[in-house]
Amino acid sequence: MKKNIITIAITLFCIVSCTNPVEKADKHFTKEIPNKLSAEIEFFSKTIKFYEYAVPANYWYPKDYTYGQIIEDKLRFADTKLKKLDKEISAIPPYNKRISYIIKVLKKDIKKNRVEYNKIQKEMSTISPVLLSFYSNLSTGISKGKAHHMPEDIKQGIIDLQKEIKTIYSQNLPSKLFDFEYLFLKSNNINDKETRAKIREIAKQVMRKNLLADSTNIDMVYASEIINSIYEKIPNKSK
């Protein structure tokens, strides 16, 4: 009886302690990455489409638009584009203070310009079609021959936001994944180089699956390229 108890104890010990570290990592990462790195996963899934699209030119008149066409349009196109921009940046999670500040300022600038556009639209509606072509009271900063130039504050806000998203992609995400992986390696006393390499690949696979889980209506090739660039930033050396 005593021998059987010892045998059972040894068997249980082996089940617990002799588990393949790679398999253990797979189970651990699959369960914990969605929880421990939820902020990074959410940020990526809700910004990747904006990050791909967010260049100032995509939120303003095309370069081939003439001054006359903008006058005829009565700035409706610009107003619609800025409304779209406002909606998109409102969906970006407040990952850090810098992101929150940039979005706050950009939303304020969007509102200011849209109010100005609405005022100009009302003024234009009182002008006869004959005189409309001579309308020149464009206090928005649009000038003849430069109709495709959007307001500088909006342009700079988009550039700043894209830069901060890139910083989070290239610094925060790889750093957070590295820290998560390192804690697992340390707590399980895994020092073998080959085993570490396999665990790194598992971490990347699980993270990729989670990053793309909620990324609907995006260019998957582009998203995968960004993820690959994130992985290239993961430190190779342990702390």
Tokens linked to 192: 């073998």
d(CA 79, CA 87): 12
CA 236 to chain centre: 24
So where are the chain's domains?
A: 19-231
The 10s digit of each residue's pLDDT in 55-86 is 999 999 888 887 777 777 888 899 999 999 99
Tokens linked to 44: 């990526």
pTM attached to this predicted model:
0.82
The 10s digit of each residue's pLDDT in 133-159 is 555 444 444 444 444 578 999 999 999
